[in-house]
Amino acid sequence: MQVLVLNSGSSSLKFQLFSMPNETILCSGLIERIGLDNGNFKFKTANDTIELATPIPNHKVGLELLAKQLLDGDTGIIKSADDIGVVGHRVVHGGKYFSDTTEITPEVKEKIKALSSLAPLHNPANLEGIEVAEAIFSNAKQVAVFDTAFHQSIPEKAYRYAIPREFSEKHSIRIYGFHGTSHKYVSEKAIAYLDKPKSKIITIHLGNGCSMTAIKDGKSIDHSLGFSPVNGLIMGTRCGDIDQSIIFYLAQKYDYSLQEINNLLQKKSGMLGLTGFSDLRDIQAEAANGNRDCQLALEMNTYRIKKYIGSYTAVLNGLDAIVFTAGIGENSSIIREMACEDLDFIGIDLDKEANNKREDGIRTISTRNSKVEVLVIPTNEELEIAKQSVSLFKD
- Give me the active site residues, please: 147
Q: What distances in angstroms separate CA 394 from CA 20, 75, 89, 149, 290, one per listed residue?
A: 12, 32, 18, 20, 56
205 is in an annotated binding site: yes
226 is in an annotated binding site: no
The 10 Å Cβ neighbour count of residue 47 is 7
394 is in an annotated binding site: no
238 is in an annotated binding site: no
179 is in an annotated binding site: no
33 is in an annotated binding site: no
Contacts of 292 by beta carbon, 8 Å cutoff, 6+ apart: none
236 is in an annotated binding site: no
CA angle 294, 298, 302 (to 5 degrees): 170
Question: Would you mind telling me the total number of residues written for the chain in this entry?
Answer: 395
281 is in an annotated binding site: yes
160 is in an annotated binding site: no
260 is in an annotated binding site: no
Residue 328's nearest CA partner among 200, 126, 179 is 179
Contacts of 275 by beta carbon, 8 Å cutoff, 6+ apart: 283, 286, 291, 293, 294, 297
279 is in an annotated binding site: yes
76 is in an annotated binding site: no
73 is in an annotated binding site: no
Annotated binding site: 7, 14, 90, 205-209, 279-281, 327-331, 381
Annotated binding site for substrate: 90
Annotated binding site for Mg(2+): 7, 381
Annotated binding site for ATP: 14, 205-209, 279-281, 327-331
